[in-house]
A and B are shown apart, each in its own frame.
Chain A
Amino acid sequence: DTGVSQNPRHKITKRGQNVTFRCDPISEHNRLYWYRQTLGQGPEFLTYFQNEAQLEKSRLLSDRFSAERPKGSFSTLEIQRTEQGDSAMYLCASTPRGATDTQYFGPGTRLTVL
């Protein structure tokens, strides 16, 4: 049984560039979540999908951020015109159904914006 996978694991980019991260959830998990974790803080919720529908977005998700899950399987998170403040660990999680289920997290993508 494979867990949640995320690629790339590390990304270094220059300010102003666009970056895209991918998350592959556990098979048959229909809910997928994105979180952001900065140094010394707990993860903060960004957005979540039920199948291909994006059902909630945090105010943290500015208009430079966009997330998709086109076929209800893997998801991508794109950041346009990156800023130094975007440097963080981006975590993806999935659950089978929802509210009472455990969210299982991937290893994360660490973004460094120079």
Chain B
Amino acid sequence: AQSVAQPEDQVNVAEGNPLTVKCTYSVSGNPYLFWYVQYPNRGLQFLLKYITGDNLVKGSYGFEAEFNKSQTSFHLKKPSALVSDSALYFCAVRDGGFGNEKLTFGTGTRLTIIP
């Protein structure tokens, strides 16, 4: 079984401040971890992923995420928030076992950047 938890429904950050959106996961095998962003009435847009290797992953629009195996976390971060970062963010996991193709998503975190 695989699952994802995003403990915060809403995160508010002042423009220019660093932001963190939290994600923890549970899988029985190796985790493949993803972050997506969703703008109103749009599909999901890929930000970054961790498959293997360096625990710090860099992605689109200045976002990065750190894989922490001992804490089973994959928090999304950005050093300086922009108003345009305001959107709905989803963490997703796939158990890396053979033949498993489905992504399991968290319930999402709404990020609001305050000017």
Contacts and interface: CB of A to CB of B under 8 A. Distances in A.
B105 interface: yes
25 contacts: A33-B101, A33-B102, A40-B107, A40-B108, A42-B4, A42-B90, A42-B92, A43-B103, A44-B105, A45-B102, A55-B101, A56-B102, A91-B43, A93-B44, A98-B101, A99-B98, A99-B100, A99-B101, A100-B96, A102-B46, A102-B49, A103-B103, A104-B46, A105-B36, A107-B43
Nearest to A47: B102
A61 B67 CA distance: 33
Contact of A42 (B42, B98, B102, B105): B105
Contacts of A105: 36, 43-46
B94 A43 contact: no
B25 to A, nearest CB: 13
A43 B105 contact: yes
Given A42-B106, A98-B101, 20 more contacts: A6-B43, A31-B101, A33-B102, A33-B103, A41-B107, A42-B107, A43-B44, A45-B102, A45-B103, A48-B102, A56-B102, A91-B43, A93-B44, A99-B32, A100-B32, A100-B96, A102-B49, A105-B36, A105-B45, A107-B43
Interface residues of A, number: 28
Interface of B: 4, 32, 34, 36, 41-46, 49, 51, 90, 92, 94, 96, 98-108
A38 B105 CA distance: 12
Given A102-B34, A106-B43, A108-B43, A45 B49 contact: no
Interface of A: 4, 6, 31, 33, 35, 40-45, 48, 55-56, 58, 91, 93, 98-100, 102-108, 110
Contacts of B96: 99-100
A107 B41 CA distance: 8
